[in-house]
Amino acid sequence: GQNIDQPTEMTATEGAIVQINCTYQTSGFNGLFWYQQHAGEAPTFLSYNVLDGLEEKGRFSSFLSRSKGYSYLLLKELQMKDSASYLCAAKDSNYQLIWGAGTKLIIKP
Amino acid sequence: ETGVTQTPRHLVMGMTNKKSLKCEQHLGHNAMYWYKQSAKKPLELMFVYNFKEQTENNSVPSRFSPECPNSSHLFLHLHTLQPEDSALYLCASSQTTGTGSTEAFFGQGTRLTVV
């Protein structure tokens, strides 16, 4: 079957760095997405990786290893507004998105 | 503001009621989706429309009935729902390309409570 695994919840300190991991098992692979979702709001697109390596976008970076079925989202210089759920989703051979349950990130002062 | 608007934001309905959720996208996309989001569970894809044609129905009970009158509007008609149908219902849109589709843009969702 197809599956996405990510931690349910993580806690980090304001100003620090946090890495949210995601492992995936899909029938074929056509890229991996990260979304951010604040409570009561729409998920918003953060990043897309289809090739191995690190994609940096400001304070957020996303890494992909296709051979390991693994990705992570790296958040630097954490701010209180980064408290949210982070959703990992992989696109399978039919271009369907397979979603993880999300990682709730709690930022403490 | 994501360019995808859902109404209503909140809905409480009885098990014998009939109601509809509405979604409108202003992005010129050709694909629209309904997702169900329950607490601590992955997003569940319910329906997919490409160019107004339904291309995906993930074994959704018939008490959920989608309608896509044009590529900018999507409805989800609800009738005789069960309490376990209480969840956040998200609409999304994307642009279908030759190699799949672009990232999805989501609406803020309708928080549905079935009593």
B42–A contact, CB cutoff 8 A: yes
pLDDT the model gives residue B99:
64
Please name the member of B2, B40, B108 whose beta carbon is closest to the beta carbon of A8: B40
Mean pLDDT of B26-40: 93
Written as tens digits, the pLDDT of chain A (109 aa) is 789 999 999 999 999 999 999 999 999 999 999 999 999 889 999 999 999 999 999 999 999 999 999 999 999 999 999 999 999 999 988 888 899 999 999 999 9
A-B interface: how many C-beta pairs under 8 angstroms?
44
The verdict on a CB contact (< 8 Å) between B40 and A101 is yes
The minimum CA-CA distance between A15 and chain B, rounded to whole Å, is 27
Find out whether A101 and B40 touch, Cβ atoms under 8 Å.
yes
A4–B contact, CB cutoff 8 A: yes
The verdict on a CB contact (< 8 Å) between A95 and B101 is yes
Q: Which residue of B has its CA nearest to A7?
A: B40
pLDDT the model gives residue B40:
84
**Which A residues, 47 through 86, put their C-beta within 8 Å of a C-beta on chain B?**
48
pLDDT the model gives residue B98:
62
Q: Is the preceding omega at residue B8 within 30 degrees of 0, hence cis?
A: yes
d(CA A88, CA A70): 11
Note the pLDDT tens digit of each residue in B43-52: 999 999 988 7
d(CA A67, CA B8): 43
B43–A contact, CB cutoff 8 A: yes
Token couple for B22: 């509405």
Tell me which chain B residues have a C-beta less than 8 angstroms from the C-beta of A48.
103
The verdict on a CB contact (< 8 Å) between A89 and B108 is no
| DSSP letter, residue A5 | E
pLDDT the model gives residue A104:
97
User: Does B58 score more than 90 pLDDT?
Assistant: no
3-state secondary structure chain B: CCCEEEECCEEEECCCCEEEEEEEECCCCCEEEEEEECCCCCCEEEEEEECCEEEEECCCCCCEEEEEEECCEEEEEEECCCHHHCEEEEEEEECEECCEECCCEECCCEEEEEC
pLDDT band (50, 70, 90) for residue B59: confident
